[in-house]
């Protein structure tokens, strides 16, 4: 069992973001999760491509941009230009036409497309075989804020998503779980097929953040 950990900088110190990103990388973060919200798709406003651009040269780990935007097709190119490696757009916010366009933009820059699902959205809402999807992002809280309670009802969805993984054994598909991940559920998520765990408050809101990160990472199989 092994999963990557992607600390979510939504929970980091917003006055010191590039240094926070560097710290997370030094602790051993596999990816950095960046939540982009427009106040429309999600009831919160967060970051723009400028932050992604500022962080990009400071760390080597992949930048995992989670676009909680009502019109992701309008902004996707700005995020890939800024240096996003994974760009996830929400199943609830795309049509076949907009997702095809988003896919083309991401391909042009040789980056990776993720499809994100709110807790109540079934995986069947996007026909994955029509797209070149590198990640399924299963939200285990409703979009908006860090520090919400994990919704255990999404676990069967994680398992279902991981079946796609074995079906697509010829190429790698990441299964990311996002929201309320902590020491109490991380192992269970891995056992059900998660390959990447997003961690906001369970890392950044702890007194000893480095120790909290390392404990989580050890729990999901890393030897650090």
Task: State the residues that interact with Zn ion by CB under 5 A.
Answer: 35, 66, 178
Q: Which is nearer to ligand DX5, 161 or 199 (CB)?
A: 199
Determine the Cα–Cα distance for residues 180 and 166; give it in Å rounded to an integer. Answer: 26
State the minimum distance, in angstroms, from the CB of residue 73 to ligand DX5.
20
Q: Dig out the tokens for 110 from the structure.
A: 């040789």
Q: Dig out the tokens for 83 from the structure.
A: 């240096």
Determine the Cα–Cα distance for residues 2 and 31; give it in Å rounded to an integer. Answer: 14
Q: Dig out the tokens for 209 from the structure.
A: 């953040």
Q: Which is nearer to ligand DX5, 142 or 164 (CB)?
A: 142
Residue 38 is among the residues annotated as catalytic for this protein: no
State the minimum distance, in angstroms, from the CB of residue 37 to Zn ion.
9
For Zn ion, which residue has the nearest CB? 66
Determine the Cα–Cα distance for residues 28 and 4; give it in Å rounded to an integer. Answer: 10
Chain contacts with ligand DX5 (rule: CB under 6 A)? 8, 10-11, 33, 35, 42, 66, 141, 143-144, 146-148, 178-181, 198-202
Determine the Cα–Cα distance for residues 208 and 216; give it in Å rounded to an integer. Answer: 13
Q: Which is nearer to ligand DX5, 146 or 195 (CB)?
A: 146
| Ramachandran angles phi, psi of 116, nearest 5° | -105, 145
Any residues with CB less than 8 A from the CB of 194 and at least 6 apart, and which?
3, 138, 158, 162, 175, 176, 177
State the minimum distance, in angstroms, from the CB of residue 104 to ligand DX5.
25
Give, to the nearest 10 degrees, the angle between helix 209-219 and helix 17-27.
Answer: 40
Q: Which of 30, 35, 38, 182 is an active site residue?
A: 35
Q: Which is nearer to ligand DX5, 18 or 101 (CB)?
A: 18
Beta carbons within 10 angstroms of residue 223's beta carbon:
6
Q: Which of 30, 38, 178, 182 is an active site residue?
A: 178
Residue 178 is among the residues annotated as catalytic for this protein: yes
State the minimum distance, in angstroms, from the CB of residue 46 to ligand DX5.
9
Q: Which does 199 bind (CB under 5 to 8 A by kind): Zn ion, ligand DX5, none?
A: ligand DX5
Active site residues: 35, 178
């Amino acid at each position: 069992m092994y999963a990557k950990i992607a600390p979510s900088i939504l929970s980091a110190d917003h006055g010191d973001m590039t240094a926070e990103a560097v710290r997370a990388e030094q602790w051993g973060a596999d990816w950095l999760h960046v939540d982009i919200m427009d106040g429309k798709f999600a009831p919160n406003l967060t970051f723009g491509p400028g932050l992604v651009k500022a962080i990009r040269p400071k760390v080597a780990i992949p930048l995992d941009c989670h676009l909680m935007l009502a019109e992701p097709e309008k902004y996707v190119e700005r995020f890939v230009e800024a240096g996003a490696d994974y760009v996830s757009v929400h199943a609830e916010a795309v049509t076949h036409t907009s997702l095809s366009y988003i896919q083309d933009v991401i391909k042009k820059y040789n980056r990776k497309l993720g499809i994100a699902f709110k807790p109540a959205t079934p995986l069947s809402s996007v026909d994955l075989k029509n797209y070149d999807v590198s990640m399924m992002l299963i939200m285990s809280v409703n979009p908006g804020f860090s520090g919400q309670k994990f919704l255990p009802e999404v676990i069967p969805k994680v398992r279902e998503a991981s079946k796609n993984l074995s079906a697509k054994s010829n190429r790698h598909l990441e299964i990311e779980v996002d929201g309320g991940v902590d020491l109490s559920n991380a192992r269970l998520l891995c056992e059900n097929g998660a390959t990447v765990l997003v961690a906001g408050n369970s890392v950044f809101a702890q007194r000893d953040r480095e120790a909290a990160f390392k404990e989580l990472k050890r729990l999901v199989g890393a030897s650090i």
